Amino acid sequence: MFSFLKRDNSLNNVDKVYGIVVNQSRNPIFYTELSIPDNIDGRFDILGLHMFFIFSRLKNEEKTAADFSQSLFDTMFIDMDQSLREMGVGDLSVGKRVKDMGKALLGRIEAYDKAFSADYDDIQAAIIRNIYRGDVPDLQQIRRLIKYSQGTIENLAVIQKKEILDANFSFTHAI
């Protein structure tokens, strides 16, 4: 009865997966050692990179993974909406800001997808443009973030889809 009200079992762990992504993106090393700005933009950018890692891993899977990814995306923007409101952004401008953030994330995901499928220079350009917003920090910091990113993509590639959907994974590659 009322089965239409039940959430698909495969989507039950979206909040847990989102929590894993958020916790990893809050690692102080990103902000202290890699010089990613510790502000709303910098935190959004590193969160977006980690969302890309998950979306990239799930993108060639079947419909269940696509539905999961969409729900994960939606969860992120419900959180963004709530966070902006808690920061005191006016109700009338929250919707526009969240919409702009959604477009920005989709653009970054597309850019990362192309870059990580290309060569090192493309990855570096995407990282500088999207994480450092055009400011070039120490090249060693960029190399370190790229190495972390490539290692994370490789590690997620060997994790079974079910483990990701069940929130039974972690970001294990060292930063």
Indicate the pTM of the whole model: 0.90
pLDDT in tens, 24-58: 999 999 999 999 999 989 999 999 999 999 999 99
Name residues of the chain where pLDDT drops below 50. Answer: 1-6
For residue 32 the two structure tokens come to 């202290």
* Angstrom distance (rounded) from CA 53 to CA 152: 7
What pLDDT does 4 receive?
A: 42
* Angstrom distance (rounded) from CA 102 to CA 120: 27
